[in-house]
Structure 1
Amino acid sequence: MTKLTIIGGGMAGSEAAWQAAQAGQPVRLIEMRPQVETFAHRTGHLAEMVCSNSFRSDDDEQNAVGLLHWEMRAASSLIMEMADAHKLPAGGALAVDRDAFAEAVTARLTAHPLIEIEAGEITALPESGPTIIATGPLTGGALARAIAEEAGQDSLAFFDAIAPIVYADSIDMDVAWRQSRYDKGDTLEEREAYINCPMTKDQYEAFIDALLAADKTEFKEGETATYFDGCLPIEVMAERGRETLRHGPMKPVGLTNPHDPQTKAWAVVQLRRDNALGTLYNIVGFQTKMKYGAQTSVFKKIPGLENASFARLGGIHRNTFINSPTLLDDQMRLRSKPHIRFAGQITGVEGYVESAAMGLLAGRLASAELRGEALPEIPHVTAMGALVTHITGGAEAKTFQPMNVNFGLFPPVEGLKGGRRGRKDRYKAYTDRAKAAWSDWIAPGLKAAQ
């Protein structure tokens, strides 16, 4: 049989390889690491998580990303199976032990008899043979230039940031405390999944002053700093107004400080467990473009982190993506070279789950095409369908930018109340409709993918 080549072993490439191989399709999976390192990666494992360790909300009735989790599980997703196997307490979110997760994904793919894994960098677009490009936001420079040349336009780009990670034993628990917001979670461990550092008004104001004055990474001449709104550096948020952080990642609501239960914190910094041992915690929402020296100085102004030791400091990197609405057809194929499909963040979806979901679809579409089959149209009312519709024609090409899955991408359900009062019923209607449609779509190919 003809081999399907998949370039890139991140979330999308790993899921695409698994889906295609489970359907009986031989796969050649090419990953440039560990031969070629990147700014953000630390290992040579497939599906390594770099920005965060969270898959976000796991609520499949009131949250669009939770619905996407459900759809992926129904399609026998490797990424979701391994996330569930290595999950960490995180309230209502699905957070994972990032190293154990990546090791497990790598082991499963390596052991699959139809998957051949090859280390090396691809620098040009393949001229023939079925291919999925899933190289992600850190696509190698030569391949990125080849893609831009084929597209007939400059690469679109924005800047993405990662948050720092702190050693748990360096956090002062006489100041900080463990609690998930609103005590969310079914078990004590889940209800204590976050470490919280409180700030008074004066401490918050001093923190904002230090944040705004800190040395930041400078961009190269000619580069424009365009950020994805869901991953803004904290300095950029602070520049939008001194209260922005207090109403964003540092909001003090749903939390009670057991050290001083009568005093309401003015702001709260949350840290989420980053590994199963509980030895590492990442600072939630604290993506940053501060220089390393400035980071340690500013972050140690946070009460409870005065003596913090950092396993990793934050950073910023260029994140490229293609203008998918103009370049891809509804099968995720490059219009000018239809033997090539794109999947993952390079298509303009944002987030680990969304990237893996597009890999899932690309793997299934490619393997079906190689079998001479035509899959039914992906239902637009599903989370999968809403995403793929958005990137392949639903979005306005002139203003196209990375997008998380959200209910705004779904066709409306008629006859439901609008506004806040009707939101709960509306979201439940969206998810019920999506689950029924996805179950119908996935059923014919489910046996082959298990």
Structure 2
Amino acid sequence: MDRKTVTQTTAADEIDHLMRLHPKGYDLSLGRIEGLLEKLGNPQDRLPPVVHIAGTNGKGSAGSFCRAILEAAGMAVHVHTSPHLVHWHERFRIGEKGRPGQLVDDAVLADAIRRVARANNGEQITVFEILTAVAFVLFSEHPADAAIIEVGLGGRFDATNVIKEPAVSLIMPISLDHQAYLGDRVELIAAEKAGIIKPGVPVVVGFQQEDAARDTVVSTADRLGCTVSVYGQDYHAHEEHGRLVYQDETGLADLTLPQLPGRHQLSNAAAAVRALKAAGFSIPDRAIEEGLQNAQWPGRMQRVTGGPIVAQAAEGAEIWIDGGHNPAAGQAIAEMIAELEEKQPRPLFLISGMINTKDPVGYFAAFSGMARHVYTVPVTSSDAGVDPVALAEDAANGGLSAQPAADVRQALEMMREDFADMEAAPRILIGGSLYLVGEVFADNGIIPS
């Protein structure tokens, strides 16, 4: 009897096909995606209330807090983030009533990609734009109470900025990054990030280290007739007796500390709480408490306690992974490492890989005087990876002792040999790129879910 075998392509197959068809990288404009969405019936206009998040650092953390708090309040929450660490599915989380949202099913994602690609009909477009359209299609077809949409790059011309009226625009910390696309001064970058602000839509501004960034965002919001809440002015948070004290014009809330490590997560959590309030969600304090306890954001100061990497490292080594990749992120990570050092002193080593759109010297300078040595490694999952030899020179220019290695495992082996007589088991930070974090996760069997 004759049998026909039907091969069903996976989401990865569909995306690989798109990657061969369309240019890589960024092409910041809205015309292409607006035309595509028109062909798809404008799904971006049929989303649940949207929390739209821009910023250089802290977008993912704020989004994870928002999601966890809303889910603790019993709501179904869609989430679109980028980039992913291991699998494309991480970019699309589908909200479900009564339980935490789940990463999209592969068959559902593959079908949505096929439909969007068919509508595009081979027209010039970037893969990020197609995948953003996929998120809008998926989220419009699955009922939910809220959608958290993270900007990919910049804001004004980012593909997510076709949302006409979000429930709130949340602008997280802004610093120098992607200067080739966004400008070489923080106020220019802030103007691009503030491009997500829509007339009359509430704006929440997270902690800003630079006054120029804050002032640029606030002036944009004022010009567009938006109510504005600024961290440190209209709301703030601090730690007191092992608790998070949040305050805004409605009063004080005594909350649990965020599970996500680092003092900067206090202001990130506060920004998320304020954004949800500004968006009009009714959130009881118990849901905020539960959300702060449950929020997770893979690859950000994440401790690795098992797997091949731990087996390869020196006995008793403490291994952390963080995808932060710009000077401001480096400073925040260094502060977290300093807190760990106060509790338990250990020699610090970095294993770092970066891509060529970043400021490696500024990143490494944050660890000057802290790190014993840096091993630089290639980032093989990106065409923009910096050569380890050149990156070691950047680390040296940042004030650190450094040498290249072939990969993370070789770096760990070299560390065992070069520093066999350490006074204590090392503390190792692997990072400098989310691409590198994804490679390490895949190699170590860590799959974000």
**Do these two structures clear the TM 0.5 threshold for a shared fold by scoring above it?**
no
Tell me the TM-score normalized by structure 2: 0.26
Tell me the TM-score normalized by structure 1: 0.26
Q: Which has the higher contact order (CA 8 A, sep 6+)?
A: 1
